[in-house]
Chain A
Amino acid sequence: AQSVTQLGSHVSVSEGALVLLRCNYSSSVPPYLFWYVQYPNQGLQLLLKYTTGATLVKGINGFEAEFKKSETSFHLTKPSAHMSDAAEYFCAVRGGEKLTFGTGTRLTIIP
């Protein structure tokens, strides 16, 4: 069985500031981990994924995440926030063919 915990349902950062969205997971098997972004009234879009290999993964729109097995974490970061980053972000873990999502973090960018 697997589960995902996203700390902070709402995060606000100033434009140009560091974005840090937290995700901790639980998995009974080596995990595949994902971050998705959802803009208003749209479906989910894959930002990045970790399957095997390098623990620091880079995704689209300047986002990256680091898989830390010892901390069971997969936090999402971006060095400098843009207004266009305002959206809902979901962390997910894959077990078999099933994706289990966290409850999401709404990111607000302050001009």
Chain B
Amino acid sequence: EAGVVQSPRYKIIEKKQPVAFWCNPISGHNTLYWYLQNLGQGPELLIRYENEEAVDDSQLPKDRFSAERLKGVDSTLKIQPAELGDSAVYLCASSSISGTYNEQFFGPGTRLTVL
């Protein structure tokens, strides 16, 4: 079974440029998460989707960040315009709603460097 796929793995851009990250969750997983991981820190949730619906986006900086999950499968996270402080690793995770505990499976992440 393929894991969570993310692309690109690395991205270098100049400040004020737009950038987008793509995530393909594990087949059949209807919950998708985007996390931000700053250097030396643990992941912090940005947004959680249940199928196509963003059910928790309280930590997403909506002035410059946006996300979508069309058809309840793949998801894209966008930053426009990027700032120096956005340099971090962006992790995608997915889980399946079943039972009392749904383990989150993480992708390898996209490491963003903003110059």
Using a Cβ cutoff of 8 Å, how many contacts connect chains A and B?
52
Instruction: Let me know if B91 is at the binding interface, CB within 8 A.
Output: yes
Could you give 6 example pairs across A and B, Cβ below 8 Å? A41-B109, A43-B107, A44-B91, A46-B104, A51-B100, A103-B40
B31 closest partner in A (C-beta)? A97
Interface residues of B in 64-106 (CB under 8 A from A): 91, 93, 100-101, 103-104, 106
B100 closest partner in A (C-beta)? A51
Nearest CB of A to B46, in Å: 12
Instruction: Let me know if A55 is at the binding interface, CB within 8 A.
Output: no
Q: What 17 additional pairs, Cβ within 8 angstroms, besides A43-B108, A49-B103?
A: A36-B106, A41-B108, A41-B109, A42-B109, A43-B3, A43-B4, A43-B109, A44-B93, A44-B106, A90-B42, A98-B45, A98-B48, A99-B104, A101-B43, A103-B40, A104-B40, A104-B42
Task: Check A51/B106 contact, CB under 8 A, given A97-B56, A103-B42.
Answer: no
Q: What is the interface size of chain A, counting residues whose CB is below 8 A from a CB of the partner?
A: 21
Instruction: Let me know if B53 is at the binding interface, CB within 8 A.
Output: no
B4 closest partner in A (C-beta)? A43
**Alpha-carbon distance between A43 and B107 when the two chains are bound, in angstroms:** 5
**Alpha-carbon distance between A9 and B45 when the two chains are bound, in angstroms:** 21
Instruction: Give per-residue flags for A34-75: 1 if the beta carbon is below 8 A from chain B beta carbons, else 0.
Output: 001000011111100101000000000000000000000000
